[in-house]
Chains A and B, each alone.
Chain A
């Protein structure tokens, strides 16, 4: 039997309210400052390095994102750490916060479905993340214009834009994970700790562990299989997917993200850049993987939330 009414009723109201909460919260301000300051430091370092080292590079502007100067990591490396932190910071108390404030049953007794509440919270947090990432992106490009003194080419801007989209999708994965934890764990502190633990494991430990796991299952005689298995396992981590996407998009000479076979090199001029569309095609599976992970995690949270008892 179909249930009556639209699941989207009240979605806009919830989204707007959550957005205004996010933008006015102290937590958001702290996170923004953290991201802006560290990212600016990284770009500043990159610009120094780019000036010193790179002579003639057709994609000079993209070097802004990827070049690092000791001891600071590159802008991209910063993002791969800070974006999950921001997303977890915005999502870890989404549902259990309502429980603990005892507002959940009062809100759900209004004529809306639970769908609207959960989805509204997700959209609001993702919008907040997107707004700060876009601001950051513009800031970096503006800074690059001023400090490098050369305008970026059209293709560079297009690549940087796709990179922005990938970063937002990457943020979505962690946000969905944090919201799943906020549904499962009644205590916000537990949800935050568990999400951070999962993030550390997936980002730092898993990529190192994947080759060892692969060795356990694949005979060492078949080197190609061993390498591809290890890579497949490592790709279970959204951080690996994000890293590969960034590599393909921001380094136009990247021809493939797997092991390179001789057949792929036929007719290739080593070190020559791929056209934008080909680079996007190289990164496409990873990009889709990030979006799919977001959807899977969100659906998990959705199912758990629908089945949850409202009473405190």
Chain B
């Protein structure tokens, strides 16, 4: 069992009129990438701010490396790097000067700064523009500069709020690669996002937020089994053959078979049934054109989950 670095128990944030976060509990282990996913306004950012001690906690407890962010914010903030949603820098200062300022706030000496800042900028690929004003930077470059700040801080936990928001596909792939490299350096990462598919690829575990509560939590595979009834989906395309749907349904481990269009079947199952499905198609006298295995996407899980909860609500 790995060391737990962040633990939240019944974390709640009440405003005068509304509850932004309602009894959220989760924990993050060392070296894990944990995703806080959900629509805008679901309470992700508020949860993050409470973990950092930047917002008061109405009820519940939070521990970051065993420190209470409400009582020992400096101890927490020394160990945690934070990249806010659409991060801002001082536009009239250069990239290096911006980092110098935060480095001095962290209490780094001049010698340490001279060594760490170029290294951090190199790590995120901003060495060439180190002495350019941040005012000229694109959004992707600002996000990377924000990551450089976390690298420079040698934070053991990085909290990234909507890091890929507003980035073009190329820039967000690069950013996600950087986030993976943080993980391989042993940093725990919390990513909040409403872009489910983009973040799915990097997260070890995710928590799906809805209306201030965690609706679902676990690995993507676990969530798939929980919500869709199966962790795998096999897509079959074939011509000819008789009763293929019935034959596929009779296979052991199959939860459900859909036929989105004639000649195509989507099999939801507990394990990888590609071999068995191919055999069935051939046995039925069909020609197998394509066979593929899908991990269920978070998007599907999410949509399905909220569809079903809404149906329950309507039924009640």
- B-binding residues in A (CB < 8 A): 1, 3-5, 9-10, 13-14, 17, 21, 24, 101-103, 105-113, 309-312
Contact = CB atoms under 8 A, between A and B. Distances in A.
Given A3-B72, A13-B104, A110 B77 contact: yes
A112 B73 CA distance: 8
Contacts of A312: 85
A107 B102 contact: yes
A310 B71 contact: no
A109 B90 contact: no
Q: Chain A: interface secondary structure?
A: loop
B71 A111 contact: no
B82 A105 contact: yes
Interface of B: 45-46, 49, 52, 54-55, 71-75, 77-78, 80-92, 101-102, 104-107, 146, 149
A311 B71 contact: no
Nearest to A112: B105
Contact of B49 (A3, A102, A311): A311
B82 A4 contact: no
Contact of A4 (B49, B71, B89, B149): B71
A101 B104 CA distance: 20
A208 to B, nearest CB: 41
A110 B89 contact: no
Contacts of B46: 311
The 10 closest A-B pairs by CB, nearest first: A102-B88, A109-B82, A5-B74, A110-B105, A105-B84, A13-B104, A101-B88, A4-B72, A111-B77, A103-B88
Contacts of B77: 109-112
Nearest to A103: B88
A108 B87 CA distance: 13
Contact of A111 (B49, B78, B87, B149): B78
B71 A3 contact: yes
A7 B27 CA distance: 30
B44 to A, nearest CB: 11
Contacts of B102: 106-107, 110
A102 B54 CA distance: 15
A111 B105 contact: yes
Contacts of A109: 52, 54, 77, 80-82, 84
Nearest to A104: B88
B146 A107 contact: no
Given A17-B101, A109-B54, A102 B74 contact: no
Contacts of A108: 54
B146 A310 contact: no
Contacts of B83: 106
Contacts of B55: 309-311
B75 A107 contact: no
Nearest to A16: B104
B256 to A, nearest CB: 42
Contacts of B92: 21, 24
Given A101-B90, A103-B88, A111 B54 contact: no
B101 A102 contact: no
A175 B52 CA distance: 31
Interface centre among A4, A13, A111 (most CB of B within 10 A): A111
Contacts of A102: 84, 86-88
Interface centre among A14, A21, A309, A311 (most CB of B within 10 A): A311
29 contacts: A1-B71, A3-B71, A4-B75, A5-B72, A5-B75, A10-B105, A13-B101, A13-B104, A13-B105, A14-B105, A21-B92, A101-B90, A102-B87, A103-B89, A103-B90, A105-B49, A107-B102, A107-B105, A108-B54, A109-B54, A109-B77, A109-B80, A110-B77, A111-B77, A111-B106, A112-B105, A310-B49, A310-B54, A311-B49
Given A101-B88, A110-B105, A312-B85, 4 more contacts: A3-B73, A111-B74, A111-B77, A113-B73
Contacts of B107: 9-10, 111
A107 B90 CA distance: 11
Contacts of B87: 102, 106
Nearest to A9: B74
A1 B73 CA distance: 13
Interface centre among B52, B89, B104 (most CB of A within 10 A): B104
A101 B98 CA distance: 13
A112 B90 CA distance: 18
B265 to A, nearest CB: 47
A288 B105 CA distance: 34
Nearest to B78: A111
